[in-house]
Each structure stands twice: as structure tokens, then as C-alpha cells.
Structure 1
Amino acid sequence: MLRRAFQKTLLQSNQINQKKIVRAILTSNGTFHQQPLANNKEDIIVYSPFPSLDYPNVTIEQYVWADVDKWINKTAIVDGMSERSITYGQLRDQTRALAVRLQKNFNLKIGDTIAVCLPNSIEFPTIVLAGNEAGVTVTTVNPIYTPHEISRQLIDSGATVIFGLACMSPILQKSVEMSKKSIKIIYIKETPTSVIPADGIDFCELIDTKGIDLNDLKVYERDVKNDVAMLPYSSGTTGLSKGVKLSNKNIVSNSVMINSDTGNGSISKPAFGDRQDVLPCVLPFFHIYGLTCTLLSKLAHGCKIVALPKFTPESYLNALEKHQATVLYLVPPIILFLTNFDKVTLKHTQSIKYVMSGAAPLGKSDAEKFLEKAPNASFFQGYGLTEASPVVLQSCLGSKNVGSVGFPSPDTEAKIIHINDPEFRGVGPNEPGELLVRGPQVMIGYHNNVKSTQETLTSDGWLRTGDIAYYNDKREFFITDRLKELIKVKGFQVPPAELEELLRMHPDIIDAAVIGIPNKNTGELPRAYVVSKNPSLTEQHVKDYVADKVSEYKRLEGGIEFIQTVPKNATGKIMRKELKEQFLKSK
């Protein structure tokens, strides 16, 4: 009843202004629901405080192109390195041409899969949207993968066509050879003078709008809820990577959530007149965070995307200044860079209106330091995972708690369960445990992996995230660590992220990673890897600094090692597994 009353209040948004909505979200405690179970125990669920949304029953490409006529002549994507660009009109025509040729030249149909093995580029959205329009599944591949890794994904996904850069031809050919499958390779030239193999297929010929009837496209009847549209692969930080089956409904629903008004306006605004939001995109499009949050959802708003193939200080700062960025989607390592790099000034940050951080936890102190460099920006944190398209938690304008990842997204439910509770019962505020979520953005399941699907999705649709979290009395959620990365000292649980944030607060420490190392007396001990800007900083000083601020079992008794950089994956997650393997090999 409390939930219904609260939602009714929020849905009357046409009668109250947006500031009142924010105030209602931040002050109401009426979105807890206690569901009685058969054993008279309670299951506490936290509902979204945001108004329910309408989700169109369309494919991804239909969603992206819905309003394209309003910004048909505006720039869609700019190559942040060469400054080559394409308008929305050109992108639409080239996408349709490629979709027709995928069907006619390669005989692709519903149930088939194509692979995209590219860094961020102008061509990336053309391929994804064309594949979707042609009715096929698109799997995205990390372009820095080895032939062994690429071939594994090609085999598992069943891809019959792969797109890649001309300079990658030896790697792509080796990958196809190792897969022992008949797979066509389509090459994208990095420059007009790039050379493709003699038996290679030129991407430019496939997007040529001359000599093709765009009405030749076969239009299939689509089940947007159950057909697999995208097949990204999970990071594999807790085992072999798995294909995540995402439907059109999953991606479109999450895009609508991401673009929705959470109280004081949406992070990006639809292009109108001379106004167009600008997003420098360094988050890889092959990862779901970059794909949904910075590419597909923003194309649907008519934004200008500045595609950067990789992060370098020079190229990123140039994009911020030259294109006067208004919206940033970032990961903690880039936020820490912008905070600590002396060359970052107001000329780079003055146009920034909104900043969203995700993919890994960011401490409150780190966020506050960043806002000193970007004084005109509103800061958000969000939380998501590949299995949820990805966003399930998001903060709103007006929240002063920058350390929180926010509330359940619109039409999304969340709960915290005690670790290993077989009944998955939700607990109340300020009790840490595993985060479970449920909503229209949650995956269909894992590809060719029934066992993992059953372990991750409960029978009533809850997604087990494997992350440790809690929520406060206002339902703001806080992610503390990965369930499988908790360090256990004498039975006590030590979240590495807590110690990492504490270490980064030290004035001489730029970055840090913490792992658990085996110990016969305690089970494990915390060990820190520290990047210092002061060569005179000693191990003992760091140990004493931490010991003064934490309980005894959290002290860095596993030692401290000074390193040049903390190893992280493409989305900024610390590769603790790699550090632990290095430590064990050294012993």
C-alpha cells in the first residue's frame, strides 16, 4: 500500500514541478515492501522511487531512429583522432545499405550472429544497427584479444561474419583459422591508403548507397522480448567469460531508463535547434556500459558522439576542449586522472553539465575532489552489469550523497540478502549482503550455459549480482565490493574497495589495489599495491597510516608493494585476480 501511494504521488508529475519530485524521492521512506513468506519470515524489497515509464515494443534500431528526422543533418559521430565525421542522415542510409547486403550478400537471417571486433569508431554503430535491422544477433569482441580469445568467442557465439580493422588482418585470419569454421571477414580501412588482404571484403563497398534498393530489406516478425539482439560477453573476472543474451526489449527498456527524467531533467537532452549534447566516448563500445549508455541511448537523443579508440591524456583533453563536451560517462580511473592531472583546467571542464560514473565503486572523497575540477557539473553515480543491459541503480539530481550509486532505476526492484541465504530473503536498511535486482532490463540468460543461468537467475526473475551492497534509510544504495573478492581474515570480511579508497585519500598516493593473500593462521591477509607520487614514501608509513584508521583485522599485514600502475580492465575494474596470481607465482 505504501508503494502504491508513493507511486501515485510521483505519477502526478504533471501537477507538481520537478523539484518537488526530487524532494519526494529524497525524503520519502515509503518504498520498502515487506512480503510475507510461507515460514512467516519477511522478504524486504526496495522499489524504485521514480515514476513508471512507457517502454515501446520495438527493436533497438527502431528506437534509435524514432525521432531521427528532427536532427537528420546534425553530426552523429566524430572520429576523435582524425576528426572525420558523419551526419545522422548519412548514418541512417549507410546502416540500411549494410542491413540489405547482410541479408542478400551473406544470406543472413534471424538466428544468425555477426561479430564486431573494433575499437570505438564511426563504423561501430553502423554495424550494430545494421545487424539489428537485418534481424541478426550482434556479438561484440574486445579488439585487443588474442587469436585464442577471439576464436573462443567466435565458436561459442556461432558467428558467421566478423568485422575488424584492416591492420588486424593477421589476428583475425588466425582467429578464424583456430575456430575451424567458415567465417567471412569484413575489413574496415583505418585510412584511405590502408590495405586489406586479397580475399578480404571491403566494408566501404557494403555501405555504398549507390546501386542498391533500400526497400529490398526483408522485414521479419520480431519477438522483441525473447529474440537475442545483442550477445556481449561478461568480463570473466570470476571465471571464463560467458555470452549474455540480451533482447531488444532489454536494451530498449534500459535506454529509456537511462534517458529518463529522474527529477530535474535527464542527463542528456534530445537535440533541438542549435542545442546538441556532446559526449566524448572513451568507454569501449564493445562493453555494455559504452554500448548502451554512451552510444545507443544517446543516438536516440540526437547527441554528437566523439569516438575515441583508446584513452590517452592528450586525445581525451583535446576532445573535451575542442568539442566542448557537455556530458561524460566515465569510470573511476579516468575520474582520478582528471582529478590529479595538473594540466586539466577550466577550459577542459567548464562546458560539462553532467558526469556519470559507473563500472566500479568510486569513493565519496574521490567524487568531491573531481567536482573541484569541474565546478559546473552535476555528478551522478550509477551501477550496472552486463547481465542487466547494464543499469539497475542510478542517482538523481538533488542527492547530496555522492558516494551512493543511487536508487533502483525506474520499474526496477532491488533487495539485499544475507550471503548464502537459500531463501533469498531481503533484509532491511544498513545491513550488508548480496545485491539482487529485477526489472525489464535483466537478461534472458547465458548463451549455451544453462547451469550458470540457473545459478544467476532465480525462479522468480531475480538477478544475483555477486556484489556486496547495502542501502540506507532513504533507499540509497552503496556498493562495497565483489562477493568473490571479499578478503576473509579470521572469519571477518574485509572489502578491498574500502581499503583502496582509504589509501587514495593519502596525499602521496595516486592509486591503489588491495587483495587477500593466503595465511595459515588467519585464512587471508590484506595486501596493498600502491602507486605513489612521492618516492620517499615507505611501506611502514603506509601501514601505520591505515592502521590508525581501521580495525585490527583490516590492517595491511599482508604487506605493501609499490608499483607503476594498477592493472585494470577496459571498464576500470581492478584486476585483483591478476595481482593475486602474480603474488602466488612469486612465492
Structure 2
Amino acid sequence: MSVERPWLDQYPAGVPAQIDVDEFPSIVAVLESAIASFRDRPAFANLGKTLTYGEIDTLSAQFAAYLLGELKLKRGDRVAIMLPNCLQYPIATFGVLRAGLTVVNTNPMYTARELRHQLVDSGATVLLVLDNFGDTVEEVLRDTAVTKVITTGLGDMLGAKGVIVNFVLKYIKKMVPEYHIQGAIRFADTLKLGRKHALPTIDVHADDIAFLQYTGGTTGLAKGAMLTHRNLVANMQQAAAWVGTNVVPGQEVIITALPLYHIFALTANGLVFMKFGGLNYMITNPRDMPGFVKELRKVSFTAITGVNTLFNGLLNTPGFNQIDFSKLRLTLGGGMAVQRSVAERWKKVTGCTLIEAYGLTETSPAACINPMDLAEYNGAIGLPIPSTDACIKDEDGNMLPTGEIGELCIRGPQVMKGYWQRPQETAEVMDADGWLHTGDIAKMDEKGFFYIVDRKKDMILVSGFNVYPNEIEDVIAMMPGVLEVAAIGMPDEHSGEVVKLVVVKKDPSLTAEQITAYARENLTGYKRPKAIEFRTELPKTNVGKILRRELRDEQAR
């Protein structure tokens, strides 16, 4: 069955049906083009310090030269980067890519268990970590293939001010724990050592893996999506073509509050706005909403990306409505469903329509985006972007007609190469015709707009982060006092959903407080249960499989 593309008739003026995937052979080529065109323009700003494109060029080249000249890394070796939004992130990331290596984006908030799995699974041999999380690295290091750890403080790239920042974080706010990692080197020292080596010409290929981007696993373990340079360049080209009529090259300032280690900000902010010669104004701790609003007052920004919870948080923070929004032309929401009430309030306060987009880690991430000239929130996830096909399939893999509900499937140059060292799981989501089966239940209207109806899997979406019940259950089930456990999503005003546990006790004295404490030790914050219910038994199928859907249905009644 051929793919009909009614969405093409809905494309805004100037948006092409296809993009040139081959204009840039790699992310490195995009960076070099931006440096050539915008060398003296600001590229990244954080905590009062700004680096130009020329400075990013120099510093990332030094880091690349260190990795190749001092550590003797070879093409395709994996380097894990465990940083929040700070100036070290773009320097290191572009350095790794310029050296022909692969970035393993690592959530700094990982527990030891989660970090151990990702480092072991990826085979990373080098790890760059912020001091604040050094103790977690120290705990797992001996179990991994990591041979060199690079450490850095949040203030290390800020000049004289940085000394004060580091002092306050360590001694006043007590946010930097004591840790000791044998043979670790400071990030600033890697740059000095890199200056001793000339950076060789590295031929980075389109099919080289640029990022191992980990995403929650249905088996309870995170999988590394292999995102090639071609995947990310394609998605950058697609998104750039979509928003291009709304931006002025060399003049854009985008607020980057979502972490750059997350695929949404990595592509939408880091790559798309780099192509346009824009400034990424990085927010290190967006959870500090008063501090975030204070930062927004300092900068005349033209664009912002975020998830529903972030926009909702800003709208409910005193002083946000007094910010100057006169230059704001683009607000892009993704990662989770944008709520109508939030979108409407955003438009009222800022004068800018909150445009909803849809994507997955596996699609680098953008697959559908609403038109930039959308007058108001429409409840759709948008139209398939240039060079992208989307369709609705039934359980037998047959394409369904307009209006029918089934599984949303995506095909395009942004779809991942597969899951790292997991051919079976790759085959389960990518079919012989190149369609990625998203696991989301959706429908398409006659104009080609897509709408998410439900989730095929039991995934819980907390503030844009995927949480898989199997992982939560596996962890909690390890508690001696737990007999059975089921994890389900529970609606939440702030984060869309939160995790709820339904537990059958083995030890009658087991308390919710004990489970909460155990979860705090073994699960990242967004994965921890916010509600715990005890029962004498869980609903099951006749073969003993726990019926999570029945638990969800009970909760909804």
C-alpha cells in the first residue's frame, strides 16, 4: 500500500517537501560551516560567561587533540559525557565528534545502578563528569571499561568568577561531595595538553555513530539508540527547513533549559540554532524557577524550547509575566503532551503560540511538528516534517485509512541505525520496509495532522522522560519485604504523570517510607514513586501476568 501524503498540502509557504540530506556530510561539517560564517558571534552562554563560535572552535579542537594525541583513542571509541548544561558540554561534545569518536550522553542524576549499566553497555573508555557527581562515578568505576576520568567544576570555564562559583557550591551549598578517582585529570588540563598536539584531519563519515543516546528499555534496561551523523544532520535540516522562515541567521537567541544530553535540546537547540549562527543561552538548573525567571530577565530571547511541565512552571512563577517577550517568535514544546490550558495561557502571557512537536530518541528526535504559523493550540502533534513519512498500522502491519486508530509508524533519514548491540530489539521496532514502530497509538485526519490517542506500551511519561514499569518493578522487587509490585502512571498536574506503586507485602512490617528510601538510593528522581498503595493481591491473567491496565482502569474510575 503506497503512502498518501495529504500533509504536504498543509505545509507553510517556503517549507519544502524534501530536504538535502547530503548538504553536510557530518555534524562536524555543520560546526565548521557555522564557525566560518559566524566566528565572532556568540554561540553559548552560561552563568554570565559567553563563548563565541571562534572560541568553541579553538577549545573543542584542543579537547579533540587531547583525546587523540594523549589518550590515543581510535575512531568509534566511546566517550561518556556526564554534565548538566554548562560551557564544558558543547566544548567536549564537539571535541569528541571532531575526533571521530562517539558521544555517550549520560544523565548526571543517574544512580550508581543506572550509571553502571550505561557505562558497561556502551563500553565507554573515557568519562567526563561534573564534580557534583564524582562520588557516583567512584562507586561504579571498577565495574566498567573506563580507563580515564576527566573531572570539572561548574565554574571552571567562567574565569575569575568561576573560583567563587566552585567555592560556594562546595563549601557553602555543600553540593560537591568528597570523592577520589585514581588518575583523574581536570578538564582545563586536558585543554592545555591538547594544545601540544596538532589536530589531524579526521574524515568523519555520514554513517559513523555520533551519539549513543540511551532510552528506557521495556526489559528494565536502557538501550542505546545508535544515532549517526546522517541521522542528526537530517533531523537538523528537517527542523531548520520547518522553522527557517521564522529565524534570522546570526540574530537568534534560544533559551536552552532542557538538558543538552536529552535528544530534544541536543538537536532542536544545539544543532538547529548552531546552523543559524544563534546563541544557546543555557540554563543549568531550570528547576529553580525563581532563578530561571531572573535569568530570563537578563536576555532578549527570540526562541525557547521545553516540555509542558517547564512552561507550566514558568507561568506559575511570580515575575514571569513581567518579562519582555517582544522578540519571542518561537516556542516549541515536545517530550510529552502539551496541555491545552498551558498552551492557551502561554499565548496569553507571551503573545507567542506554543507549537507542539512529536518525536522519539529513535527519530533524532523530530518526526512531526505543527506549522509555525499556527494561530492557536490545536491538540495535534503536527504534520510529518520534510522527507518524513508517517502512517497508522494495525497489529498485522497493514496501513489503516484516514481516521482509523492504530500504531503510529515513522520512516525517514532521521530514524536511528538501531539499538546498540541489540539486534533482536531493533528488529522488534523496525520492519523490513524501514518503518519504525513507535508504540504510540494515534490517528491521522484528512488534512494529514496526527493525533496521539494512547500508548501501546505501559510507558509512563514524567516531564518528558520515559519511565518503564519493568525497570521500576525490577528494582523495588529486590527489597526483601516486597512480594509483588506493579508500577503504573498516575496523572499529575505538574509533570503530566508520576509513578505509582501497588505493592503486595512479604514482610507485614514493610512501610511506604522504607520503599521510598530504597527508591531514592536506586532510581533517578523522575523514576521514583510518588504514591504507594498496599494490597493483598494484584490482578493477573490466567498465566500469572500482572494486569497493569486493570490497575490503571481502577484508578481512572
Cα displacement string for residues 257-299 of structure 1 (whole angstroms, at most 9, x for unaligned residues)? 111146xx4454321xxxx211121111111111111112212
Hey, what does 1:304 align to over in structure 2? 279
Hey, what does 1:256 align to over in structure 2? 237
| 1:417 equivalent among 382, 393, 398 | 393
Hey, what does 1:60 align to over in structure 2? 27
Question: 2:5, 2:108 → 1: CA distance?
Answer: 49
Alignment partner of 1:445 is 2:418: yes
Hey, what does 1:156 align to over in structure 2? 121
Question: Which letter maps to 2:205?
Answer: D
Hey, what does 1:183 align to over in structure 2? 147
How far residue 477 of structure 1 moved from its aligned partner, in angstroms, is 1.0
Q: Secondary structure at the match of 2:373?
A: coil
Q: Secondary structure at the match of 2:205?
A: coil
Whether the aligned pair in 2 keeps the contact of 1:99 and 1:217 (CA below 8 Å) is yes
Q: Secondary structure at the match of 2:223?
A: coil
Q: Secondary structure at the match of 2:134?
A: helix
Cα displacement string for residues 320-340 of structure 1 (whole angstroms, at most 9, x for unaligned residues)? 221122101110101222333
Alignment partner of 1:73 is 2:40: yes
Whether the aligned pair in 2 keeps the contact of 1:326 and 1:354 (CA below 8 Å) is yes
Question: 1:310, 1:60 → 2: CA distance?
Answer: 27
Whether the aligned pair in 1 keeps the contact of 2:82 and 2:108 (CA below 8 Å) is yes
Cα displacement string for residues 120-168 of structure 1 (whole angstroms, at most 9, x for unaligned residues)? 1111011111111101111000001112211211110010000011233
How far residue 171 of structure 1 moved from its aligned partner, in angstroms, is 1.8
Question: Which letter maps to 2:103?
Answer: V
| 2:405 equivalent among 424, 432, 450 | 432
Whether the aligned pair in 2 keeps the contact of 1:361 and 1:480 (CA below 8 Å) is no
Hey, what does 2:509 align to over in structure 1? none
How far residue 218 of structure 1 moved from its aligned partner, in angstroms, is 3.0
Question: 1:162, 1:443 → 2: CA distance?
Answer: 24
How far residue 585 of structure 1 moved from its aligned partner, in angstroms, is 7.1
Pair 1:527–1:103, CA change in 2 (3 A)? closer
Trace 1:167-316 onto structure 2 (pairs within 5 A). Answer: 167-179=132-144, 181-191=145-155, 192-193=162-163, 194=166, 199-208=183-192, 211-213=195-197, 216-225=198-207, 227-236=208-217, 239-261=220-242, 265-271=244-250, 276-311=251-286, 312-316=288-292
Q: Secondary structure at the match of 1:410?
A: coil
| 2:12 equivalent among 17, 22, 35 | 22
Q: Secondary structure at the match of 1:114?
A: strand
Question: 1:233, 1:321 → 2: CA distance?
Answer: 34
Question: 1:584, 1:219 → 2: CA distance?
Answer: 61
Question: 2:490, 2:423 → 1: CA distance?
Answer: 37
How far residue 251 of structure 1 moved from its aligned partner, in angstroms, is 0.5
Question: 2:489, 2:435 → 1: CA distance?
Answer: 34
Q: Secondary structure at the match of 1:399?
A: coil
Alignment partner of 1:350 is 2:329: no
| 1:323 equivalent among 281, 284, 299 | 299
Pair 1:240–1:126, CA change in 2 (3 A)? same
Pair 1:445–1:335, CA change in 2 (3 A)? same
TM-score by length of 1: 0.72
Question: 1:221, 1:531 → 2: CA distance?
Answer: 49
| 2:61 equivalent among 81, 85, 96 | 96
Pair 1:313–1:296, CA change in 2 (3 A)? same
Hey, what does 1:41 align to over in structure 2? none
Pair 1:292–1:22, CA change in 2 (3 A)? closer
Question: Which letter maps to 1:246?
Answer: L
Alignment partner of 1:388 is 2:363: yes
Cα displacement string for residues 70-117 of structure 1 (whole angstroms, at most 9, x for unaligned residues)? 3211221111xx312211111111111111111011111112110000
Deviation larger for 203-212 or 91-100:
203-212
Hey, what does 1:521 align to over in structure 2? none
Question: 2:292, 2:458 → 1: CA distance?
Answer: 32
Question: 1:457, 1:579 → 2: CA distance?
Answer: 34
| 2:440 equivalent among 467, 470, 484 | 467
Hey, what does 2:104 align to over in structure 1? 139
Question: 1:63, 1:324 → 2: CA distance?
Answer: 26
Cα displacement string for residues 426-452 of structure 1 (whole angstroms, at most 9, x for unaligned residues)? 212222221000000000000011111
TM-score by length of 2: 0.76
Question: Which letter maps to 1:382?
Answer: A
| 2:344 equivalent among 351, 368, 377 | 368
Question: 2:453, 2:245 → 1: CA distance?
Answer: 27
Whether the aligned pair in 2 keeps the contact of 1:147 and 1:178 (CA below 8 Å) is no
| 1:339 equivalent among 312, 315, 332 | 315
Hey, what does 1:541 align to over in structure 2? none
Whether the aligned pair in 1 keeps the contact of 2:441 and 2:456 (CA below 8 Å) is yes
Q: Secondary structure at the match of 1:367?
A: helix
Q: Secondary structure at the match of 1:345?
A: helix
Whether the aligned pair in 1 keeps the contact of 2:290 and 2:318 (CA below 8 Å) is no
Segments of 5+ residues of structure 2 without an aligned counterpart are 156-161, 168-178, 463-468, 470-485, 495-518, 520-524, 538-557
Alignment partner of 1:583 is 2:556: no
Hey, what does 1:403 align to over in structure 2? 379
Aligned sequence identity (%): 26
Alignment partner of 1:126 is 2:91: yes
Pair 1:161–1:410, CA change in 2 (3 A)? same
Question: 2:536, 2:81 → 1: CA distance?
Answer: 38
Question: 1:107, 1:291 → 2: CA distance?
Answer: 27
Question: 2:124, 2:401 → 1: CA distance?
Answer: 45
Q: Secondary structure at the match of 1:138?
A: strand
Whether the aligned pair in 1 keeps the contact of 2:242 and 2:385 (CA below 8 Å) is no
Pair 1:481–1:96, CA change in 2 (3 A)? same
Whether the aligned pair in 2 keeps the contact of 1:392 and 1:409 (CA below 8 Å) is yes
Residue correspondences, number: 465
Deviation larger for 87-96 or 335-344:
335-344
Question: 2:368, 2:457 → 1: CA distance?
Answer: 21
How far residue 579 of structure 1 moved from its aligned partner, in angstroms, is 5.6
How far residue 346 of structure 1 moved from its aligned partner, in angstroms, is 4.0
Whether the aligned pair in 1 keeps the contact of 2:65 and 2:194 (CA below 8 Å) is no
Pair 1:358–1:210, CA change in 2 (3 A)? closer
Question: Which letter maps to 1:260?
Answer: A
Whether the aligned pair in 2 keeps the contact of 1:255 and 1:296 (CA below 8 Å) is yes
Whether the aligned pair in 1 keeps the contact of 2:343 and 2:353 (CA below 8 Å) is no
Whether the aligned pair in 1 keeps the contact of 2:25 and 2:205 (CA below 8 Å) is no
Whether the aligned pair in 1 keeps the contact of 2:235 and 2:414 (CA below 8 Å) is yes
Q: CA RMSD in A?
A: 3.4
Pair 1:367–1:103, CA change in 2 (3 A)? same
Hey, what does 1:35 align to over in structure 2? none
Question: Which letter maps to 2:199?
Answer: L
Alignment partner of 1:51 is 2:51: no
Q: Secondary structure at the match of 1:405?
A: coil
Pair 1:68–1:471, CA change in 2 (3 A)? same
